[in-house]
C-alpha cells in the first residue's frame, strides 16, 4: 500500500490517541484552509494547504506561501478540494481527521462525501470516537465482540444483508439515516452484502 496521507480538515482538532497517531506517523499532511493553524499549534507542519483560503490567518498564509494551493471554485468544499489535490499528486491512501465538530451541517456533509471519494482512493475518516469507512461492495470487516457499529446507505433503495451483527440485516433498505444505527458486532469480524451502494460503516473505538 502507498504511504499514508492525512488530510486535516478545519473541524475540531483531534484529541483521541488514534487520529493523533495517524497525524504523527503520516508521510504527508495536507491541511484544509484554517486547519493549518491547529496543526502548527500542535507542533507539526503541513506539506500543503488547500482550499478557498477564506479562513487562514494572513501571517500564516505568508509564512507558508510556498505550499498554499488556492482553489476558489464554489461547487465543492475545502475537504473535497484537498482530496482532489491528493488525487492529482497520486496520494491515494488517505485518512481524514478533524472533519467533524464545530458545525453539524459540515459534519454530515463531510461524512457523506466519503461515498464519492471511495471510487478513486482508499479513504477512511477517523474521529475522536471511531472510524467511518465507505464500501462500494460487500465486505468482511474486522471488528471485536461488542463493538458498536452503524451503517449508513447513500442510496435508500439499497438492500443490505449482514452476518455477525447483533441485529442482523436481511435485505433491509435503510430508508432513513437512523435505521442502520446502534448495532453491535458479535465477533472479530462481520460481513455486509449489498448491491447499488455505497454504504458507509461507522465503528466505535474500543473503550
Would you kindly state where each structural domain of the chain is located, as residue ranges?
5-128, 134-204
Q: 69 exposed, middle or buried (CB, 10 Å; 0-12, 13-18, 19+)?
A: middle
Q: How far apart are CA 6 and CA 84, in angstroms?
A: 13
Helix boundaries (H) for 8-148: 17-25, 35-41, 58-63, 78-88, 104-117
Average pLDDT score over residue span 6-22: 95
pTM: 0.93
pLDDT band (50, 70, 90) for residue 135: very high
Q: How far apart are CA 135 and CA 127, in angstroms?
A: 18
Q: Residue 53, Cβ neighbours under 10 Å: how many?
A: 18
What pLDDT is attached to residue 9?
Answer: 93
Average pLDDT score over residue span 65-89: 88
Q: How does pLDDT run across 157-170, given as a tens digit for each residue? A: 999 999 999 999 99
Residues in the chain: 207
Q: Is the pLDDT of residue 1 over 70?
A: no
Share above pLDDT 90 across residues of the chain, in percent, rounded to a whole number: 76
What pLDDT is attached to residue 101?
Answer: 86
Average pLDDT score over residue span 112-139: 95
CATH node for 5-128: 3.40.50.10240
From residue 43, alpha-carbon distances to 70, 98, 179, 195 in Å are 24, 16, 41, 44
Q: How far apart are CA 71 and CA 91, in angstroms?
A: 18
Q: How does pLDDT run across 53-72, given as a tens digit for each residue? A: 777 778 887 888 888 888 77
What pLDDT is attached to residue 140?
Answer: 97
Q: Which residue has the higher pLDDT, 156 or 74?
A: 156
Amino acid at each position: 500500500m502507498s504511504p499514508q496521507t492525512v488530510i486535516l480538515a478545519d473541524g475540531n482538532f483531534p484529541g483521541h490517541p488514534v487520529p493523533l497517531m495517524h497525524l504523527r506517523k503520516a508521510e504527508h499532511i495536507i491541511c484544509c484552509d484554517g486547519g493549518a493553524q491547529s496543526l502548527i499549534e500542535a507542533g507539526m507542519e503541513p506539506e500543503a494547504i488547500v482550499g478557498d483560503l477564506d479562513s487562514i490567518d494572513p501571517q500564516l498564509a505568508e509564512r507558508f506561501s510556498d505550499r498554499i494551493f488556492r482553489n476558489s471554485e464554489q461547487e465543492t468544499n475545502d475537504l473535497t478540494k484537498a482530496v482532489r489535490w491528493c488525487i492529482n499528486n497520486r496520494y491515494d491512501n488517505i485518512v481524514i481527521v478533524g472533519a467533524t465538530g464545530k458545525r453539524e451541517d459540515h459534519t454530515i456533509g463531510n461524512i457523506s462525501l466519503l461515498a464519492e471519494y471511495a471510487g478513486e482512493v482508499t479513504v477512511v475518516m477517523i474521529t475522536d470516537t471511531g472510524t467511518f469507512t465507505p464500501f462500494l461492495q460487500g465486505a468482511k470487516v474486522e471488528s471485536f465482540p461488542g463493538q458498536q457499529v452503524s451503517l449508513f446507505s447513500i442510496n435508500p433503495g439499497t438492500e443490505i444483508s449482514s452476518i455477525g451483527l447483533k441485529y442482523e440485516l436481511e435485505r433491509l433498505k435503510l430508508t432513513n439515516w437512523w435505521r442502520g444505527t446502534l448495532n453491535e458486532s458479535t465477533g472479530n469480524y462481520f460481513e455486509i452484502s449489498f448491491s447499488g451502494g455505497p454504504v458507509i460503516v461507522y465503528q466505535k473505538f474500543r473503550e
